Structure 1
Amino acid sequence: MKYLVMVQGTQADYEGMRGKASEHAATWTEEELQAMYAYMGAINDDLAESGEIIDAQGLAEPARTRLVSRTPDGGTEITDGPYSETKELMAGYWVLECESLERVTEIAERVSRCPGPKGQTGHPVVIRPIMDGAGDIC
């Protein structure tokens, strides 16, 4: 089965990675950033070796996001970021093909232990099965 594994983050998290601390996120040192990249790289290497990884990407900060939606009158509303500091959005993802929900949960748990600055509480990791067809809805 294919799964989308999403790491959530906030605009404040991206600011903290650039050295701007706030009440919502700690400041990252260069060593902490390198440790995070190495940790995630090791996960990607392991998933490539096991053949479970289909795709994985980090995403740009929420401030660079654009939301396109329909209005009640049938028009289109276009909103640019940034979003509220407390609003969590997808910060990165993996598309994986795993034997079971238990296996993808093991991977998500490993992702959730990614190192960061002292005092960081970690970020939620969401698992969503990818539907193969309309039969998956029922």
Structure 2
Amino acid sequence: MKYMLLMQFSATGTDFPGIDTWTQDEVRAHVGFMREVNEKLVADGEWVDAQGLGGPQQARIVRADEGGAPVVTEGPFAETKEFLAGFWIVDLDSRQRAVELAAHISTAPGPGGRPLNMPIEVHPVMSAPSQEL
């Protein structure tokens, strides 16, 4: 079954200081950890996709107005407490494996090399209903 793992960060910076305040070595360690996770997923045949996302300053929320025209709200969003920083789509044998993988990703190093223990959401990827419906 496929799962989507969502990496969340606090928009308020209360979880840890923003990555723009980290030293180059801290950023290298964090990115290196993520690369190792991805390489292992590929080697184990569990990889589907993974991407880091731009920060909330680059994000947009789009809704249609009553006439169907787009209404765009630019980030950062005052009402948002967390933002989506990246995701993985993995093809795993069990939900337990998804939970284990999410826990491991949560330990990515941050400032001072300490594990961030950031929240990772685990969502099963649902397949589309059959054409017969």
Residue 45 (structure 1) aligned with residue 47 (structure 2): no
Letter in 2 for 1:81: G
**Cα offset for 1:6?**
0.6
Figure out how many residues of one structure are paired with residues of the other and give that number: 127
Q: 1:39-78 to 2 correspondence within 5 Å?
A: 39-71=33-65, 76-78=70-72
Match of 1:8 in 2: 8
CA deviations 1:82-138 (Å, max 9, x no partner) are 123962121000000000000011100000001101477532100110111237xxx
Aligned CA RMSD, in angstroms, stands at 2.5
Please report the TM-score for the alignment, with normalisation by the length of structure 1.
Answer: 0.80
Relative distance call for 1:76 and 1:128 in structure 2 (3 A) is same
**Cα offset for 1:72?**
6.0
Question: Structure 1 residue aligned with 2:111, among 111, 117, 121?
Answer: 117
Gaps of 5+ in 2: none
Gaps of 5+ in 1: 20-27
Of 126-135 and 96-105, deviating more is 126-135
Comparing both structures, which one devotes a greater share of its residues to helix?
Answer: 1
Match of 1:22 in 2: none
Moved over 4 A (4+): 71-75, 118-121
**Cα offset for 1:77?**
2.1
Identity %: 35
Relative distance call for 1:131 and 1:66 in structure 2 (3 A) is same
Match of 1:88 in 2: 82
